[in-house]
Structure 1
Amino acid sequence: MRFGKLGWVMLLGGLGVCAGAVAEVHGDALRNDPDVKEAYRYFYDLDYPKSVALFEKVQAAHPGSPDATTFLLEARVFEELYRQDLLDTTFYANDGFLTGKHPTPEDPTVRDRIFALEDRVEHEAGARLSKNPRDVDALYARGWARSLKAAYLAMVERGFSGCFHLALAAHGDEVKVLQIDPQYEDAKLVVGTYQYVIGALPWGFKFLFGFAGITGSKSRGLEMLRDDFEHGPMTSAEAGTVMALFLRRESKYQDAIAVVHKLEMQYPHDFLFHLEEANLRKDAGEGMAAAKAYEDLIEDAKKPGYFPSSHVELAYFGLGEALQGQRHYDEAAQAYEQTAWTQGVGAELKRRSLVDAGKAHDLNGQRAKAVQDYHWALDNGADTTQGELAKKYLKTPYHE
């Protein structure tokens, strides 16, 4: 994947000690609550309404608990990111997502609800920390809540300055957790992500960050993420997802696929884990095998109840990319157009798919169809990076 400086900052804020054998894993005792376990089962099936409903019940049963509020915040944030098609890693691998103009339609009601929940965690955690500064559960909850808000700021609002400051604050909280309790495995998600992201920066940026006392190591970060993936009681799946993303960036596709396979076995009804395997096969250059994986995923999504929640537009888009990579331009254009006209498709994905459909038509010598796709892209956002590309290709046909 191709990331600029802002990309690393987004990942540092949005995803979110010595490695080795773990004799005993520590963590928030509330994770053992039956309702919490059931809510997370729905969460990883992407059935967010049921997950949110149960987490609201947990929060009501534990007033003043920053942990319970953070559970609900996590479900609310990911529910919104999924609604807007922002949980497919392919979205961040193309056309300067983080440096271009890619507005998404923000829902003020959802935003206010998310910000209010994060504020509540700050208040609840602060109250406990004022009595006991070494309260690891309160520190962990506050750090995780800050990283979740940072993810929303980066991915929906593109508010990278605010995201960066929240990310640093989240990292500070989780470092303190591990200093107090090195076996608090869940805290390694944010710290390990931070370590990798800073370690992966170009030397010049790393040098500047070093002056501010900010250092990192890619190998150290991956080591911590693997610890969390293998032992974390709450954030194992999140650590595996981030680790697969970083392995993908390192072109270690088979290692990443192995991680995703474990997640698929653990959560067989999670549409996104199956999608990520197809994405990895595409990036690994498996071509038509990747296309077959997308097609199988689309067919599985049509089966009643197979996935509690599926966004097939993401699979159609991946199919288009796989087919275009194999120079099957006509079929690729059809897949991209299917993406664009799928009910509920996110605004940015719709624009991207229409421009890519036009490019595929241009490559196939179908100029009239390409022009139509570019006009449709403009109709859905002329003052965007994709809109600018559509204008460019209306003047001059796209060519490789």
Structure 2
Amino acid sequence: MKTSRIAWLIVLFMAGVAVSHAEVHTNALNRDPLVREAFQHFYDMDYPAAIERFQRVHQAHPNDPQATALLLDAEIFQELYRQDLLDTTFYANDGFLTGHHATREDPTTRDKIFALADEAVHEADERISHNPRDVDALYARGWARALRCTYVAMVERGFASGFRLANKAKDDAQKALQIDPDYVDANLVTGVYEYVVGALPLPFKFFIGFAGISGSKKTGMAMLHDAGERGIASSVEARTVITLFLRREAKYREAIEVVRTLEAQYPRNYLFALEEANLRKDAGEGMVAVDAYRKVVASAERPGYYASARLELAYFGLGDALRGQRHFKEAAEAYEQAGYTQNVGPELKVRSMLAAGQCRDLNGERDVAKRDYQMAIDAGPSTSRADQARKYLKAPYSGA
């Protein structure tokens, strides 16, 4: 996205003016005052407050798949955040697809999420059976399927089943756009599908049974930019996804420009502030990135500044930034703070303690390194990183 366009978006958002919706169609529920209020809490990451309001919307609109999908969205992202699975460093390379990872699925939460997803699809099916051109129902069904796919892929690591859901979600969103090209929110699901399938390594396509199915990164990014600029229910999500995809492509300056539009709109969103620090680290900004992480931590320590701040994510990023500057002792301490944080997710704990052990080895602290490796193994014994930790228990990590 051109710098001039980004600057214009920042001006609009800071002025509190929405990008022109005159030519954009959407479900009327997306403009409901209670829905907008719920989304404000959602993007401030106050998930309990958002869920309480979406539950009221859900109760007030029985048999409406959009109302059900709104509640499903909040429930899923609350759970992903609880498990530290909204850390974009986890998805910025293909190791996410190929490694064995540690997650701690809560069956009660899973059942609630799947029940809401089934409910939304059933409600949409009922409406589509009476009117196959019901754009609102098609969009809601596609969105619900995409949300369920997100949970299945990120928590259960069920990539084959997840991509089958994604394919159905894309079909729904694509049909909605064919019926109404101005239903811009549907660009989100279709754009993500196009980009992800276009970016998948060929061996992985064979593995999940997607050989021969094509996608286009260029087309996907164009659709996401449209949703980011003009979408009503999808603008924030589209720009968030854009930053992740730009990060994967090492286009860090462009990604920083996009994430700063999100920070301007939602300054109390912990993950948007954290993402700017992540991007500055990946861009090789060295101590500027270190300072950015420390600023995030300082803000999180201000009472009430963030509704919810999982500091282990910032400490892990800080460790990475310090490690990149060869400040191995400080990096190890930051990683250990991440790993020792109360209620840290198992995946992040394994990653943190493995990295801490490596930095302790590089700093000549072999006994402490061995302790950290053992903690990584204990946190996720069947993971790929635990296998690495076992290797370094036998012989010190040398950086090779």
* Maintained 8 Å contact 2:92/2:244: no
Q: CA deviation at 1:57?
A: 0.4
* Maintained 8 Å contact 2:202/2:211: no
**CA separation in 1, counterparts of 2:201 and 2:154?**
23
* Maintained 8 Å contact 2:92/2:247: no
Give a deviation string over 1:64-109, Cα, whole Å, max 9, x none: 0000000000000000000000001102246823322213111000
* Maintained 8 Å contact 1:209/1:215: no
**CA separation in 2, counterparts of 1:368 and 1:342?**
22
Alignment of 1:89-238 (within 5 A): 89-93=88-92, 96-202=95-201, 214-238=213-237
AA in 1 matched with 2:375: W
Give 1:9's aligned residue. Answer: none
* Maintained 8 Å contact 2:362/2:398: yes
**CA separation in 2, counterparts of 1:141 and 1:105?**
29
SS at 1:216 equivalent? coil
Going from structure 1 to structure 2, the CA distance change for 1:113 and 1:32 (only over 3 Å counts) comes to same
SS at 1:98 equivalent? helix
| Pairing 1:259–2:258 present | yes
Q: CA deviation at 1:351?
A: 1.2
AA in 1 matched with 2:242: M
| Unaligned residue ranges in structure 1 (runs of 5+) | 1-20
* Maintained 8 Å contact 1:226/1:239: yes
Give the alignment's Cα RMSD to 1 decimal: 2.0
Moved more, 301-310 or 385-394: 385-394
| Pairing 1:62–2:86 present | no
Going from structure 1 to structure 2, the CA distance change for 1:47 and 1:66 (only over 3 Å counts) comes to same
TM-score normalised by length of structure 1:
0.91
Going from structure 1 to structure 2, the CA distance change for 1:208 and 1:349 (only over 3 Å counts) comes to closer
| Pairing 1:342–2:341 present | yes
AA in 1 matched with 2:363: N
| Pairing 1:240–2:239 present | yes
Give 2:298's aligned residue. Answer: 299
| Unaligned residue ranges in structure 2 (runs of 5+) | 1-19
AA in 1 matched with 2:120: V
Give 1:319's aligned residue. Answer: 318
* Maintained 8 Å contact 2:293/2:314: yes
* Maintained 8 Å contact 1:192/1:225: yes
SS at 2:192 equivalent? helix
Going from structure 1 to structure 2, the CA distance change for 1:172 and 1:332 (only over 3 Å counts) comes to same
TM-score normalised by length of structure 2:
0.91
**CA separation in 2, counterparts of 1:32 and 1:63?**
18
Q: CA deviation at 1:214?
A: 3.2
Identical counterparts, % of pairs: 61
Dislocated runs of 4+, deviation >4 Å: 202-213
Give 2:283's aligned residue. Answer: 284
Going from structure 1 to structure 2, the CA distance change for 1:97 and 1:231 (only over 3 Å counts) comes to same
SS at 2:254 equivalent? helix
AA in 2 matched with 1:394: L
Q: CA deviation at 1:378?
A: 2.0
Going from structure 1 to structure 2, the CA distance change for 1:393 and 1:212 (only over 3 Å counts) comes to closer
Q: CA deviation at 1:383?
A: 2.1
Q: CA deviation at 1:311?
A: 0.8
Going from structure 1 to structure 2, the CA distance change for 1:50 and 1:210 (only over 3 Å counts) comes to closer
**CA separation in 2, counterparts of 1:205 and 1:80?**
27
